[in-house]
Amino acid sequence: MGKRKKVDIKKRRQRLIREKKKELEKKVIQPEKRPLTTLDLRLEKETKLYWVRAITGALSAIVGRLIFGLIGWFLFLWMIIWWFVFPFVVSFLIYKYEYDKEEWNYKNIVLPGIGMFFFLFMICGVFLHTILKFIPGFSSILELFL
């Protein structure tokens, strides 16, 4: 029986750690880069339009009531204009989406986010109108400057 070899545990552990790191670097998990289908592209477009509609709903109520002092039917017409016109502006001029002529339908632009737009418009409009009613003689910011 010969002499037993002295094993340095720290060196051996460091060597094992280096080997494991090399293996992990080789096996880096990358997400699958599959080509986007037409459904994925359409859903991505609709998601962007949805959030644009949500922000537009709140902002159009605030601008219509606070800046222009619109109430009643005028505020309703203001909402309808933003509801139906602005999504086309966003879709064609800002994002510059290209739609296939065979598959294009105006509903793909008008429908995403209708409920969110209406809900945020009503919440922001009613809340702002209620707060502004507590200020006597105030109807809009434009009247302050004119």
For the stretch 18-55, what's the b/e string if a residue is b when 16 or more beta carbons lie within 10 angstroms of its beta carbon? eeeeeeeeeeeeeeeeeeeeeeeeeeebeebbbebbbe
- For residue 38, being part of any structural domain is answered with yes
pLDDT of residue 80: 92
Look at residue 33 in the predicted model and tell me its pLDDT: 64
Can you give the pLDDT at residue 124? 94
State mean pLDDT over 65-77: 92
The rounded distance, in Å, linking the Cα atoms of 60 and 79 is 7
Does residue 53 lie within any of the structural domains? yes
Number of domains the chain is built from: 1
Give the pLDDT band (50/70/90) at residue 1.
low
Residue 108 lies in a domain: yes
Write the pLDDT tens digit of every residue in 15-56.
889 988 888 777 666 666 666 787 787 788 788 888 888 999
The answer to whether residue 123 scores a pLDDT higher than 90 is yes
Q: What is the pLDDT of residues 72-120, one digit of tens each?
A: 999 999 999 998 888 888 877 887 877 777 667 777 777 888 899 999 9
Do the domain assignments include residue 91? yes
Please check whether residue 86 lies inside any domain of the structure. Answer: yes
- Asked whether residue 2 is assigned to any structural domain, the reply reads no
In a domain, 14, yes or no: no
**Any domain includes 82:** yes
pTM over 0.75: no
The CA–CA distances, whole Å, from 7 to 16, 81, 118 equal 14, 81, 74
72 Rama class: left (phi>0) / alpha (psi -120 to 50) / beta: left
Residue numbers of the domain that contains 103: 34-145
With a CB cutoff of 8 Å and minimum separation 6, the contacts of 138 are: 132
* Cα–Cα distance, 137 to 29 (Å, whole number): 64
